[in-house]
Structure 1
Amino acid sequence: MNITRTALAAALATAGTAHAADFKAGEWDISLGGIVNAYYTHTSCSGSQTVGGLALATKALGCGGTDGRTVIGNGLLPNALTTTAKTRQEGFDISATLMIGAAVASGDAISNNSNVDVRQGFVTIGNADMGSVKLGRDYGLFGSSAILGDMTLLGAGAPVSATQRNRVTLGHIGSGYTYLGTYGQMAYTLPTSGGFSATVALMSPVDAAGTSFTGRSEPQLQALASVKFDGGKAWVGVKRQKFDGPADTGFTLNAAEVGASVNLGSLGFSANVQSGKGLGVLSDGDSGNRKQTNLLLQATWQATAKAKFGLNWGESRLKDGAATDLRSNSNVTAGLYYGLTKSVTLVTEISRTTSKPVTGDEARMNGVALGGIVFF
């Protein structure tokens, strides 16, 4: 697997059902494909409502400020239309990709009519001998293996209302891994050899969402290496960025991850762990200078040619903090993924998300998601 492939392409490969429209335009090969999905989700929230920070199970985030919330919107993936153009010129393979997305649900009947989600716009240049160089906006490397292997990529995972309205659900973002993010970047991928592949990238530095910390003077660095073996794969990744803050309160994000997946007949197992300082609950640096560990465990069973059952559990755990600060978010999801046709997957999931403070009682969110996803 080329670890620099786009998340959309990876999702299509995961489903194994997509058939993009391919045609010629002069010396260019054009491919047009995409995703459309929608899920009926309902959440109910209970327990303590004093957990601070990005506590996903609280009424404020999980249930949109109420005891319960119903949304018909996207799952973890957006609706997306992706166009890729490829050609070979003077010994170089050249590819350009543009992705435009849109969300289903909003808090009113108008706002999403003009809400466009553009995550990808990049070009790659290279060949089998030199590897390839990527220039433009694309998903990050760190965390890509975790989210692309998450069974809830085709569903909803934690159906947090605060993010699903106007965007998407969270899967295990914030409760098992930190979002891989989208960045302006310059990346280099080594030629693949014997199942081994590696990419290193300079990312445009980002600010820490919801804080006063900013990324200015130095690029973010990410790297990811993976190796395929009979029946599975393993990977390791790192990321680093300096954040500036008021009154010399800045810090440096330093994080690493390691994971593996293996298939044993109809059974599949995977695990991923991320750990570091300033990693962020949902995105880079959003929890400041705190140390954090993310863990995701998953087991799936391909019961029939069409039906797959899965169970996964994840936790994002922070160290230190004041009494009401967030200590951890955890989520357990059970799902059934049914391939109705080669392009349509129907999904049923039930989930439980728990948010705990440093001291005190926890907040709880129960969720259900019913719907489907179409790849074309």
Structure 2
Amino acid sequence: MSLKLRHRLGLLGSIVCLGTVGVAQSAQADDYTELLDILRAKGSLTRGEYNGLLAHHLHRTHTAPDVQQSSYRKSPSGRSRSSRNANYGDSSLDAPDVTTIAAASAARRAAADAEASARSAQSTLFRAQHDYDPASIVRVKPYVAGKGVTIQAGQIDINLSGFINGYYTFNGAGGGSPVAGGVSTGSTGFDSSAVRNGLLPGGLILKLNTTQDGIDLGAVFGMYPGINNADVGTFNANSGGSPVGLGTAGLDFRQVYMTAGTKDLGTIKIGRDIALFAADAILNDATLLSVGSTGSNANPANTSLGRIGVGYVYTDWLPQITYISPKWHGLQGSIGVMTPLDEFNYAGGGRSAVSSQHSSPMVQGKVTYDATIEGFTARFWSSFLIQHQQSLTSNALSDNSKHSAMVEAGDVGMKLTKGPFEGVAYYYYGSGLGTTGLFFDGVATNGRKRNSEGYYVQGAYKILPRLKIVGSYGVSNLYSAAGEVYDPLMVRRNESEVGALYYNLTDWMTIVGEYAHTKSDSHGPNKEDDSTISAGAMMTF
């Protein structure tokens, strides 16, 4: 039923109600018929409606008990209307006046305007639905703290996230004698101060995701700039810095990769990203958000060591083609082929064999399992690494010896979380793996593999909703190879203890205070140690 029709029926009902009101004063008897005349003249009543209402009114007025006593009344025009004279039975009821008529007319106009507005809005909606193109819509998705800003441009999600950190770090040299391949710098005998990055540099990560032909596609660009001067060397942006005027900070472009897959079949990753072996060790390390062992504080690099070399071997960021399976009841697996890396003489002085020839790739794999056990949220993981090191050379091996070694390594770890408590335990073992970095001092000069192992344990507890205390201890051991000539300066053990406080000032900013003690022991009598106090903040968005 249209608005206009409903309005007219309401108006007719009001008139009928007026007509059926009892007898009124005789001076007001013809106001009802005057109202009918006005409405008929304005076109609000058809001729049939007008005649019907008038006849009904005249019938009631002629049958009223006091109609014969009603006085004669002239209309404003002077025309006699005695034949249509009527009285209202209840003198307390006023006859309709000009205000009532105007209100009815205004209501009728408002109803007509509303109906026209509704038709216009409906027409606009139909046009919008017809012209709607999802590919042309740009909107910002709801912000989630720590997950960056996501803009949806049609069918593409564009996510921008990142972090910045800076710490004042004081390193106190504990003294001792140099250890070749050790991570402590205490034997220098000099204290040092710096404002530097922690284990993480700064970061700016751009992610693009979409779905085409039922395939989920993604691209990631991860840029990691430091705040200290760069002095690019063997380790590129991670080489020791250059505390000299007119320097510039370094940029570590760690991530450049693409993904393609489905929820049922899994995902293929192609490009440069964090490796699989020992990745969970560093990602669950509390010093990732602080400093840990400095490595060198006098000329700080893009990053500190954290717990690298004192509990695990650095996973690294490698060119790779990796398959990641769907998750099945909390279980997920990954396997990838990666660019092989050289054996590297990190200790210096010709103490380890080196290589630079690779006819086969490095292979890495990982399995993770997520579960809830006795109220604990738990993650378990295990990963492995295999690489054939060919054409090993050293001061004891000729360049054409064709000596080779198959490097193998594996690890296991777990993380348990319940309420304010969080605990991590990790262990690794390798043959030819080396220590601190992949294949650092992994093969002796005689071409035989050195075995290595290490572990760390870590506990964290939120003593207040925003304040967390963390303590950890870790060790990395490097053993002599079979038949290796005894070297008293060669590193045998690196270890550290770390205690830290983390205060979440806001969702973005965390304030950090930390103490770390690092010690290196050789196969002989040499030892050195240092202590580091750091204070600063990290901002993530």
Q: When the two structures are superposed, what TM-score results if normalisation uses the length of structure 1?
A: 0.90
Task: Work out whether residues 71 and 105 of structure 1, in 8 Å CA contact, stay in contact via their aligned partners in 2.
Answer: no
Which position in structure 2 is the counterpart of 1:196? 331
Which position in structure 2 is the counterpart of 1:235? 381
Residues 17 and 337 of structure 1: is their aligned pair in 2 closer, same or farther, counting only changes over 3 Å?
farther
Distance 1:318 1:203 in 2: 25
Residues 202 and 164 of structure 1: is their aligned pair in 2 closer, same or farther, counting only changes over 3 Å?
farther
Q: Deviations over 1:74-116 (max 9, x none)?
A: 1111101100000000010001000111111232243334x21
Distance 1:208 1:42 in 2: 33
Q: Deviations over 1:154-184 (max 9, x none)?
A: 1111122269723101111011001110110
- Higher mean alpha-carbon deviation, 206-215 vs 255-264, is at 206-215
Structure 2 residue matching 1:56: 3-state secondary structure = coil
Residues 215 and 292 of structure 1: is their aligned pair in 2 closer, same or farther, counting only changes over 3 Å?
farther
> Are 1:124 and 2:259 an aligned pair?
yes
**CA displacement at 1:278 relative to structure 2:** 1.8
Distance 1:94 1:163 in 2: 44
Which position in structure 2 is the counterpart of 1:155? 290
Task: Work out whether residues 289 and 538 of structure 2, in 8 Å CA contact, stay in contact via their aligned partners in 1.
Answer: yes
Which of 277, 284, 287 is matched with 1:142 structurally?
A: 277
Matching residue's letter, 1:270:
V
**CA displacement at 1:26 relative to structure 2:** 4.2
- Higher mean alpha-carbon deviation, 132-141 vs 19-28, is at 19-28
Structure 2 residue matching 1:205: 3-state secondary structure = coil
Distance 2:266 2:508 in 1: 32
Which position in structure 1 is the counterpart of 2:502? 337
Which position in structure 2 is the counterpart of 1:8? none
Structure 2 residue matching 1:153: 3-state secondary structure = helix
Aligned residues: 355
> Are 1:293 and 2:453 an aligned pair?
yes
- Which has the greater radius of gyration? 2
Q: Deviations over 1:292-316 (max 9, x none)?
A: 0011111111111101101001110
Which of 512, 526, 529 is matched with 1:364 structurally?
A: 529
Which position in structure 1 is the counterpart of 2:360? 218
Which of 161, 166, 178 is matched with 1:38 structurally?
A: 166
Which position in structure 1 is the counterpart of 2:302? 167
- Higher mean alpha-carbon deviation, 308-317 vs 245-254, is at 245-254
Structure 2 residue matching 1:161: 3-state secondary structure = coil
Distance 1:279 1:95 in 2: 33
Which position in structure 1 is the counterpart of 2:248? 112
Which position in structure 1 is the counterpart of 2:404? 250
Task: Work out whether residues 316 and 329 of structure 1, in 8 Å CA contact, stay in contact via their aligned partners in 2.
Answer: yes
Runs ≥4 residues deviating over 4 A: none
Task: Work out whether residues 262 and 268 of structure 1, in 8 Å CA contact, stay in contact via their aligned partners in 2.
Answer: yes
Distance 2:405 2:191 in 1: 38
Distance 1:259 1:164 in 2: 34
Q: Which has the higher helix share?
A: 2
Distance 1:208 1:25 in 2: 46
**CA displacement at 1:139 relative to structure 2:** 0.7
**CA displacement at 1:58 relative to structure 2:** 2.6
Show structure 1 runs of 5+ residues with no match: 1-15
Residues 93 and 180 of structure 1: is their aligned pair in 2 closer, same or farther, counting only changes over 3 Å?
same
Task: Work out whether residues 175 and 189 of structure 2, in 8 Å CA contact, stay in contact via their aligned partners in 1.
Answer: no
> Are 1:315 and 2:475 an aligned pair?
yes
Matching residue's letter, 2:388:
K
Matching residue's letter, 2:283:
L
Distance 2:275 2:246 in 1: 31
Matching residue's letter, 1:91:
G
Which position in structure 1 is the counterpart of 2:435? 281
Matching residue's letter, 2:151:
F
Which of 67, 84, 95 is matched with 2:207 structurally?
A: 84
Which position in structure 1 is the counterpart of 2:191? 68
Structure 1 residue matching 2:228: 3-state secondary structure = coil
**CA displacement at 1:137 relative to structure 2:** 0.3
Distance 2:527 2:361 in 1: 38
> Are 1:351 and 2:493 an aligned pair?
no
Which of 320, 328, 343 is matched with 2:493 structurally?
A: 328
Distance 2:179 2:526 in 1: 8
**CA displacement at 1:140 relative to structure 2:** 0.6
**CA displacement at 1:41 relative to structure 2:** 0.8
Residues 93 and 264 of structure 1: is their aligned pair in 2 closer, same or farther, counting only changes over 3 Å?
same
Residues 273 and 215 of structure 1: is their aligned pair in 2 closer, same or farther, counting only changes over 3 Å?
farther
Which of 306, 319, 325 is matched with 2:466 structurally?
A: 306
Which position in structure 1 is the counterpart of 2:78? none
Task: Work out whether residues 49 and 58 of structure 1, in 8 Å CA contact, stay in contact via their aligned partners in 2.
Answer: no
| Aligned residues: CA RMSD | 1.7
Residues 261 and 19 of structure 1: is their aligned pair in 2 closer, same or farther, counting only changes over 3 Å?
closer
**CA displacement at 1:56 relative to structure 2:** 1.1
Structure 1 residue matching 2:434: 3-state secondary structure = coil
Which position in structure 2 is the counterpart of 1:9? none
Show structure 2 runs of 5+ residues with no match: 1-143, 230-242, 347-353, 444-449, 481-485
Which position in structure 1 is the counterpart of 2:28? none
